[in-house]
Structure 1
Amino acid sequence: MLDVQTIHHVSVCVRDLEKAKSFYGGKLGLTEIERPPFDFSGAWYAVGASGQQLHLIVHNGETLREGPIDTRDGHFALRVASYKAARLWLESQGIPYEARPHARAGFPQIYVLDPDHNVIELNADVCDEE
């Protein structure tokens, strides 16, 4: 059996690196970190303080989606400190979202799309708003 310790990184495909960097670094506030000199464009971001990373890969392949938020499609989740603060931040940034304060998952969830329609779940330990 594998002795899996943690998720190291998640990679998502993007078409326009500058738009993606504006979203992930500017709007979501992730910190860009050094990336090796690969022969393709991209960017890496730190996620939290425990070493997980998000890797953006510029790719025009078939893995990119077009439609609206589909919570059953492939996605990654970021745990946030406050559900309410996350929702208010998204509104202040003009980012459309689908809120599920009392989700069946057992914790509150918010779904958003990045500029390339990658689905991102933001979730919190508890719902801190009525």
Structure 2
Amino acid sequence: MIEVESIHHVSLSVTNLEKAKHFYGDMLGFKELDRPDFDFPGAWYQVGNQQLHLIVQQESSTFRSDPEINSKEGHFAIRVKDYEKTLKHLKTLGIKIIEKPNSISGFAQIFCMDPDLNLIELNVDQQDLK
């Protein structure tokens, strides 16, 4: 049996590193980390105790083509401290979102997409809604 400690990182394919870095670094506020000098472009970010690794790959088989947010598609989730503050921040930046504060999951959820249509869930426990 594997003894799991935690998820270390999530890797996402992106097509435009500058747009992706603007979204994750400037808009979402993730701290960029030093990255080894790989033979391909990308960026690493600290997200709580885990990391997000962006890998530039123009023809990835993982890219979505549907520009609509669909929470049933593959995504990664980030636990945030304050649902309303996060919601206000995303709306202020004009980021397209879907709100699910009363999701049957027990999490108050906000879904959004990066410039390459990778889906992101931001959530809190519903009992923590203010």
| TM value normalised by structure 2 | 0.94
Identify unmatched segments of 5+ residues in structure 1.
Answer: none
Q: 1:74: Cα distance to partner? A: 1.0
Number of the residue aligned with 2:55 = 57
Q: Does 1:128 align with 2:126?
A: no
Q: Aligned to 1:46, what secondary structure does the other structure show?
A: strand
TM-aligned CA deviation for residue 62 of structure 1: 1.9
Query: Does 2:118 match 1:112?
Result: no
State the AA in 1 paired with 2:12. V
For 1:73 and 1:101, how far apart are their aligned partners in 2? 18
Query: C-alpha separation between the residues in 1 aligned to 2:3 and 2:125?
Result: 26
Deviation of 1:73 (Å): 1.1
Unaligned 5+ residue runs, structure 2? none
Q: Which moved more, 1:65-74 or 1:28-37?
A: 65-74
Over the residues paired in the alignment, what is the CA RMSD in angstroms? 1.0
**2:4 aligned partner, one-letter code:** V
Provide the identity percentage.
50
Counterpart-to-counterpart distance in 2, 1:97 and 1:79? 16
Q: How does 1:1-130 map to 2 (within 5 A)?
A: 1-48=1-48, 50=49, 52-60=50-58, 61-67=60-66, 68-126=68-126, 128-129=129-130
TM-score, length-normalised on structure 1? 0.94
Quick one: distance in 1 between partners of 2:28 and 2:65? 21
Which contiguous aligned blocks of 4+ residues in structure 1 show a shift greater than 6 angstroms? none
Give the superposition deviation at 1:107. Answer: 1.3
CA-to-partner distance for each residue in 1:83-117, whole Å, 9 max, x for gaps?
A: 11110000111101000010010010000010000
Aligned residues: 127
